[in-house]
């Protein structure tokens, strides 16, 4: 029976003594894979981490003559159940369409065996706070801010018309809720675009448009511990904040 050992080039494979994947006959077994960038550090964004890990796995499978369509079982580990939606969307287009058997495990950060040294203090604080993204003169944003204020719910307001939105965060929102939800196609800013910009939309094009003109982002967007809200829908807000 033919056996093939596949390496991704990671120094840990040599130091610890394992292969990224092992092909044994008609089967390919892929080792547990995390999602560091090329410099070895882990992105703060779970979407980017997931995509990095899947890229490593895809390359290992391809070297053995396999693809995602051949996957029969996949196991995932996450440390925050609130990130589940982002995780599912990040894996969806690459893995879910092939419908492998999947297992999801939630573990504490200190159970992962990875050091937390490159995680910023601001990220840790963000998990304990609420950030509302919008534009001050938007009526819906005003209603949302008043709703939080009258209930004594502390939050940070981010004016993305002035401060903008970073690409990773916008990609995470689109991964969690879908770019169709995040892009406000009913707004004046979008309607004023040239027809060529308004047609042939996909996620990449939508993100580029929103980065160039943040006023096209649906308002408000709220990040809170355990989830993400888009728009101001009272049943969703009541459920999120327990009011």
As annotated, the active-site residues are: 138
Question: Tokens at residue 94, please?
Answer: 């690459």
Q: Euclidean distance between the first and final Cα of the chain, in Å?
A: 62
d(CA 223, CA 243): 17
DSSP character string of 82-145: GGHHHHHHHHHTTTGGG--EEEEEE--GGGS----TTS-HHHHHHTTS-EEEE-TT-HHHHHHH
- Residue found under tokens 């093939």: 4
Rounded CA-CA distance 225/221 in Å is 13
């Amino acid at each position: 029976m033919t056996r093939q050992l596949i390496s991704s080039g990671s120094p840990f494979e040599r130091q610890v003594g394992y292969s990224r994947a092992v092909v044994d006959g008609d089967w390919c077994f892929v080792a547990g894979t995390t999602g560091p960038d090329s410099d070895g550090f882990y992105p703060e964004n779970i979407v980017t981490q997931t995509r990095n890990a899947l890229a490593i796995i895809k390359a290992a499978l391809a070297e053995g003559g396999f693809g995602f369509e051949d996957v029969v079982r996949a196991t995932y580990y996450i440390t925050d159940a609130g990130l589940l939606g982002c995780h599912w969307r990040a894996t969806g287009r690459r893995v879910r369409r092939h419908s492998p058997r999947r297992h999801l495990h939630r573990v504490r950060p200190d159970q992962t065996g990875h050091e937390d040294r490159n995680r910023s203090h601001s990220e840790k604080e963000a998990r304990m706070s609420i950030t509302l993204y919008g534009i001050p003169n938007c009526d819906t944003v005003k209603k949302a801010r008043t709703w939080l204020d009258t209930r004594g719910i502390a939050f940070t307001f981010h004016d993305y018309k002035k401060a903008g939105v970073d690409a990773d965060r916008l990609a995470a929102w689109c991964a969690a809720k879908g770019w169709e939800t995040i892009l406000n196609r009913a707004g004046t800013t979008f309607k004023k675009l040239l027809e060529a910009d308004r047609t042939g939309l996909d996620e990449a094009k939508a993100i580029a448009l929103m980065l160039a003109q943040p006023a096209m982002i649906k308002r408000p967007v709220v990040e809170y511990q355990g989830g993400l809200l888009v728009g101001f829908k009272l049943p969703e807000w009541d459920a999120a904040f327990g009011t």
